[in-house]
Structure 1
Amino acid sequence: MVFVKSTPAYGAEKRQFMLLILLVLFSPLAIDIYLPALPQIAESFHVEHTLAQDTISLFLFAMGIGQLVAGPLADKYGRRTVALVGIVIYLISALLAWGAQTIEWMLLARLLQGIGACATSVAAFATVRDTFGPEKSGKMISYLNGAICFIPALAPILGSWLTQTFDWRANFSFMALYALVVGGALWIGMKETNPSPQSGKVFHANRYWSVLKNPMFLFHASLCMLSMAVILAYVTSAPIVLMQQMGVSMNEFAAWFGINAVVNIIACLTAPKFMDKFGVHKTLVVGLLCMVIAGVLMLVVSSQLTPMMFMLPIFVSSLSFAWILGAAAGKALAPFGDKAGTAAALLGLFQMSGAGLVVSLVQRLGLEPTFMISIHMLILTPAIIILLSSVGRGWHKIEV
């Protein structure tokens, strides 16, 4: 990584970052590990498969909306406190899901789990801003995103083994165990990094408005949202394109999914190196150009689709997504020190709820999946013009 000095301060910084990696894994783990068990869950509760899928939708909804609450709480009471409370909620909700006897009980448990996961996410990214500052935080967020990308590649394999060896409830047992172990590690090792806890009201419109009125935040948070929408469009469309239209088997689909996760991991680990050498501005420009190229490529290959032809633009977009997300997220949080929790919460809201809304609106146009994905990629084209303008260059000359 970037920890090159062997001083005690750097050693403590490295240990803190290792804890943050454990902290950001809560949310992807809660989705990807039990995906293979969804049919069993629907069968166990005697409900339609769509209701089992709602356990994911409610989790994501709670994560997006919960950011607005967790952010100000992290600014007032500290990142460590919010992280530990979030882990406790996550642990309790995992146990509730494990013991669920009805689908309603299960949905409620997942709603609570989304709230717990959003608290851990907000605390982690706010701590990154506190610890590494406005310039270095973008690189560290790329490393965190690289760690997050391991989960889609590995968690379904673990979840499949747990489900086949035991049953679907074992996935939630594992989540509870993970929360217990990581919670203990954070209780012992995580230091509070909030430079100046806020006084006064926790929830005030001015706290949100002071972040939202900042054009640098709005632009870079929108980049995170639109690039995340590309990934969501791919995830929701890939089963239709690969399995229904092309007849790819479930194992082959999982293999393509895993290869794309590996591409994402490599991209997340190389982005900080590029940022170190060329800066955040050039990283964003290159990432956006790659995304536009992926969009054009998807349009070109749409008439002669094969699994490889479909996945090639996806691989390019996954690379550009990683470069855009790390650089843009760090820059979105850069203007905010004491409000890093609120800023991280609003950034999370853009990424989760905002991206979901964009994808939902475009899906309602009734377009072919490949054309719909390419639209999401090409929507980012104007951002290149803005970044190359005097205003865009000015944002990247600001020293916070």
Structure 2
Amino acid sequence: MQKFLFLLLTLVLLGPLGIDLYLPAIPAIALGLGSSESVIQASISLFILVLGLGQLLAGPLVDRYGRRPIAIAGIMLYMLGVTIAATSVNAPMFMASRVVQSLAVCCTSVVVFSSVRDRLQGDDAARAFGFLNGTLNIVPALAPLIGGLIAQYYGWRAPFWALLGYTLMALLLVLAFLAETRPANTQQVGRLPVGQYIGILRDKNFLIFALVNAGAMGMALTYVSLAPGVLMSRGGLTPLQFSLVFGANGFWIMLMSFIANRIIRKLGRPLCLTIGGLLMLIGGSGLLAGLVLLPAQLQLATWVYMVPVASACAGLAFVIGPATSYALEPYSSQAGIASALVGFVQMAGGAALGLIAMALPLPPKASLALVMLTAFVLAWAAKRRSKRVKGTLRALSPETLG
């Protein structure tokens, strides 16, 4: 099973690598393409938007044609997008490359969620999702530093060529080791299954658990968007210091995810939802308390911002695995479609939550605190709902473990 999860991890990493690896090179990309930094920065939002919407298309394809073929197609499409980015001569061409890459990640992401749902359920699935999410956080911890060093010595196109090499490796691994996991009873559709999407969304259990991921994603996007201004523009950190703080938080989330997996194994998913919700509540309350109680000069200290953020990010690590497994558990014959819908709710809902919070006439810390408290409410609602859902722990067969 570990080999299976590590294989899926190579696919999961395509998403964050497509964003984090080139972040330090954004000024150089803008200069090289004769564009503004704001336009190149907008490619991140474009990537996330397409990722949310595109999964609604990828879900039916994964159920119709299988996990393995769509994984291979997604990786090849990703390679095309990376090549376009590395050879871009203007901003529109670069933005088009981001759309192609994001569409590719739609395919690989749905394959990952569906494959886990095919082979695991209950607490096993929750631990698998938690492992993938936790290990995923090594990318924002290390990718900006690695991408920045590559760009500094070899130019802004070099990180994309490096990403092409990684993607080629992922393709070879998938071709060699990824077996088809689609169940024989999978429902297949020939067009966009709007009716099935609506039917799943009407399932209150699904919606409550999927919205937990939206709250967590909204918190993460708001934190990433506001952190440079809070820590560098106002707090006075250098870019290197900011990268180290940003990276340390990524390792922290990874550690918390592994701890959460152990708690799931011993005490179950509802307790993880409870712990995660409370950690988000502590984070949001801590940010607000700092704004109200601390003198203005002390509010600029890095720890005043990062300690509450660390608490809330630990909460994120505790809730995503259980919430995802609860949402997908009833849909063994519609795993691709349900997985796509989870991704759509997470990305679109998280982006909407973050954009609304940042658009409010509030200080940045207050905006982030508002999203953290919203994420707490959603996690707490899911915890209450979990009492009505009987999770199962299935004994894995030798075929499954192979």
| TM-score for the superposition, normalised by structure 2 | 0.93
Q: In 2 relative to 1, CA 235–156 (structure 1 residues): closer, same or farther, beyond 3 Å?
A: same
Q: How does 1:8-87 map to 2 (within 5 A)?
A: 13-87=1-75
Contact 1:195 / 1:338 at 8 angstroms: preserved in 2?
yes
The aligned residue for residue 126 of structure 1 is 114
Indicate which of 378, 388, 393 corresponds to 2:387: 393
The residue aligned with 2:90 is 102
- SS of the equivalent of 2:387 reads helix
1:41–1:195 Cα change, 3 Å: same
CA offset digits 1:312-358 (Å, max 9, x no partner): 00010111001111111111111110111111111111111210111
Q: Matches of 2:94 and 2:342 in 1, distance apart?
A: 28
Q: Which residue of 2 aligns with 1:374?
A: 369
How far 1:121 moved relative to its partner? 0.9
How many Å separate the matches in 1 of 2:82 and 2:110?
20
The answer to whether the 8 A contact 2:212-2:382 is kept is no
1:287 corresponds to which of 276, 287, 301 = 276
Shift of 1:399: 8.7
Give the match for residue 316 of structure 1. Answer: 311
Match of 1:190 in 2: 178
- On the 8 A contact 2:210/2:342 being kept in 1, the answer is yes
Q: Give 1:380 deviation, angstroms.
A: 3.3
Q: Which runs of 5+ in 1 are unaligned?
A: 1-12
Stretch of structure 1 that moved more, 214-223 or 55-64: 55-64
Q: Which amino acid aligns with 2:115?
A: T
Match of 1:373, SS state, is helix
What percent of counterpart residues are identical? 31
**Cα deviations across residues 90-145 of structure 1 (Å, max 9, x unaligned)?**
00111111111111111111111100011111101110111112431111001001
Candidates 327, 334, 337, aligned match of 2:332: 337
Distance 1:226 1:157 in 2: 28
Corresponding residue of 1:92: 80
Question: Structure 1-normalised TM-score?
Answer: 0.93
1:140 counterpart residue number? 128
Q: 1:74 to 1:53 in 2, by over 3 A?
A: same
Residues 353 and 387 of structure 1, relative CA distance in 2, 3 Å threshold: closer
Give me the CA root mean square deviation: 1.6
Deviation at 1:396, TM superposition (A): 4.2
Deviation at 1:383, TM superposition (A): 3.8
Flag the 1:211–1:143 CA change in 2: closer, same or farther, 3 A: same
Work out whether residues 328 and 335 of structure 2, in 8 Å CA contact, stay in contact via their aligned partners in 1.
Answer: yes
Q: CA offset at residue 379 of structure 1?
A: 1.4
Partners of 1:238 and 1:335 lie apart in 2 by 38
SS in 2 for 1:191: coil
Q: How does 1:200-239 map to 2 (within 5 A)?
A: 200-239=189-228
> Would you say 1:241 and 2:241 are equivalent positions?
no
- Looking at structure 2, the residues matched to 385 and 221 of structure 1 have their Cα atoms a distance apart, in angstroms, of 13
Distance 2:376 2:46 in 1: 32
Structure-2 separation of matches of 1:381 and 1:99:
44
Distance 2:27 2:284 in 1: 33
Change (3 A) 1:373 1:206: same
Question: Aligned in 2, Cα 1:247/1:212: closer, same or farther, shift over 3 Å?
Answer: same
- Counterparts of 1:30 and 1:384 in 2: how far apart (Å)? 29
Distance 1:396 1:387 in 2: 13
SS at match of 2:237: coil
Q: Aligned pair 1:348/2:337, yes or no?
A: no
Q: Closer, same or farther in 2 for the Cα pair 1:149/1:397, shift >3 Å? A: closer
CA distance in 2, matches of 1:174, 1:381: 39
- In structure 2, what is the Cα distance between the partners aligned to 1:142 and 1:84? 24
Q: Deviations over 1:131-188 (max 9, x none)?
A: 1124311110010011210101111121112111211111111121111111111011
Q: CA deviation at 1:385?
A: 5.4
Native 8 Å contact 2:124 2:393 kept in 1: no
Instruction: Judge conservation of contact 1:76–1:202 (CA < 8 Å) in 2.
Output: no
Aligned to 1:265: 254
Over 3 Å counting, the alpha-carbon distance change for 1:366 and 1:396 in structure 2 is farther
Question: Could you tell which deviates more after superposition, 85-94 or 14-23?
Answer: 14-23
Q: Give the direction of change, closer, same or farther, for the CA distance of 1:203–1:376 in structure 2 (3 Å limit).
A: same
User: Residue by residue, what CA displacement relative to the aligned partner does 1:240-296 show, whole Å, maximum 9, x if unpaired?
Assistant: 111111211111111110111111010111111001111101110111011111111
2:36 aligned partner, one-letter code: E
Alignment of 1:149-168 (within 5 A): 149-168=137-156
> What are structure 2's unaligned runs of at least 5 residues?
395-402
